[in-house]
């Protein structure tokens, strides 16, 4: 049990907090952008195939990850990246502004690549469950669009938005390959740390720490996913 305690003290606690902060931020941004994208796609009625195309691509992008994603962003926002260079022509210095693809902000941006489409896939059924008649009824009763969203739309969407946030959090929390490839194993993320302990078996007595960290990870994941399933059950009651 002492390993369990040691895994959440000192620098290891810092790693946990770092990972949780990163997951929470990428989940929050992913949830907001994903919900916005869903709302935008829902407003597109023509061409009719547009929604289908976005859904299909979201399915692909949400499952994207690992090494190819890291490569793509290194080529885009790395020190020799296309966008980094393009911005420097306009006099904007990304690296000077404290942005590197392997630091906190960088990993967050990269994670958004799979977080936003995942949010889209999770919330699309809820958005589709918003009946047009409710909007029309609200409009007939004199409610402005803002009022409609505040009193009808958002309360109905709330469980699925919160559930989506939790799913995104869990998703970022367990991601490993992308972060590993972005920062060559030097990141402070918990999954990368676990690898260090598992392979550094020469430090005697420390490999228990790897197990303890993995156990803590599972505990956090069970809590988050349990809450997610509760929200999901609640959000499904409005869906056709």
Near another protein in 11-30, by CB under 8 A: none
The residue among 132 and 142 lying less far from another protein, judged by its C-beta, is 132
Give whichever of 42 and 158 is closer to another protein, judged by the CB atom.
42
What does the DSSP 8-state code read for residue 238? G
- Long-range contacts for 38-47 (Cβ within 8 Å, ≥24 apart)? 38/119, 38/120, 38/123, 38/124, 38/127, 39/127, 41/120, 41/124, 42/127, 42/128
How would you class 15 by CB atoms within 10 Å of its CB: exposed for 0-12, middle for 13-18, buried for 19 or more?
A: buried
Q: What CA–CA distance (Å, rounded) separates 218 from 228?
A: 15
Q: Binding of another protein at residue 171 (CB under 8 A)? A: yes
Minimum distance from CB of 161 to another protein (Å)? Answer: 15
- Residue 163: which residues within 8 A CB-CB, separation 6 or more? 122, 227, 228, 230, 231, 232, 234, 235
Residue range at the interface with another protein (CB under 8 A); choices 9-17, 20-28, 58-66, 151-159: 58-66
Phi and psi at 202, nearest 5°, equal -70, -30
Figure out which of the listed residues 13, 17, 95, 139 binds another protein, where binding follows CB under 8 A. 139
Minimal distance in Å, beta carbon 204 to another protein? Answer: 15
154 scored as a contact of another protein (CB under 8 A)? no
Q: Residue 65, interface with another protein (CB under 8 A)?
A: yes
Q: In this structure, what token pair is assigned to residue 198? A: 């598992």
Q: Is 136 in the site for another protein (CB under 8 A)?
A: yes
By CB under 8 A, which span of 14-22, 91-99, 120-128, 151-159 interacts with another protein? 120-128
Instruction: Confirm or reject binding of residue 36 to another protein (CB under 8 A).
Output: yes
Nearest one of 52, 55, 35 to 156, comparing CA atoms: 35
Q: Is the peptide bond before 79 cis (omega within 30 degrees of 0)?
A: no
The secondary structure of residue 223, as a DSSP letter, is: H
Among 161, 167, 182, 187, binds another protein (CB under 8 A): 167
Q: Which is nearer to another protein, 158 or 221 (CB)?
A: 221
Asked whether position 75 contacts another protein by CB under 8 A, the answer is yes
Between 17 and 219, whose beta carbon lies closer to another protein?
219
Residue holding tokens 């598992």? 198
Interface with another protein (CB under 8 A), residue total: 75
Question: Does residue 116 bind another protein (CB under 8 A)?
Answer: yes
Q: Report the C-alpha gap between 83 and 65 in whole angstroms.
A: 20
User: Which of these segments, 15-23, 24-32, 150-158, 194-202, binds another protein (CB under 8 A)?
Assistant: 194-202
Cβ distance to another protein smaller for residue 121 or 156: 121
Q: Please tell me the distance from the alpha carbon of residue 217 to that of residue 193, in angstroms, as a whole number.
A: 12
User: Is 114 among the residues that bind another protein (CB under 8 A)?
Assistant: yes
């Amino acid at each position: 049990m002492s390993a369990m305690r040691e895994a959440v003290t000192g620098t290891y606690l810092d790693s946990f907090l770092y990972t949780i902060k990163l997951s929470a931020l990428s989940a929050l941004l992913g949830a907001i952008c994903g919900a916005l994208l869903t709302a935008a796609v829902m407003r597109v009625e023509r061409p009719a195939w547009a929604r289908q195309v976005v859904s299909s691509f979201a399915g692909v992008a949400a499952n994207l990850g690992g090494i190819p994603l890291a490569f793509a962003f290194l080529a885009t926002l790395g020190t020799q990246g296309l966008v980094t260079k393009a911005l420097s022509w306009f006099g904007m210095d990304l690296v000077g502004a404290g942005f590197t693809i392997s630091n906190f902000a960088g990993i967050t941006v990269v994670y958004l690549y799979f977080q936003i489409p995942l949010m889209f896939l999770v919330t699309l059924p809820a958005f589709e469950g918003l009946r047009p008649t409710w909007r029309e009824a609200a409009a007939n009763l004199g409610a402005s669009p803002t009022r409609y969203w505040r009193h009808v739309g958002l309360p109905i969407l709330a469980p699925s938005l919160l559930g989506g946030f939790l799913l995104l959090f869990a998703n970022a929390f367990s991601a490993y390959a992308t972060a590993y490839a972005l920062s060559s194993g030097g990141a402070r993320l918990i999954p990368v740390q676990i690898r260090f302990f598992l392979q550094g078996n020469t430090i005697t007595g420390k490999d228990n720490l790897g197990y303890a960290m993995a156990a803590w990870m599972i505990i956090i994941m069970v809590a988050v996913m349990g809450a997610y399933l509760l929200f999901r059950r609640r959000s499904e009651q409005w869906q056709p």
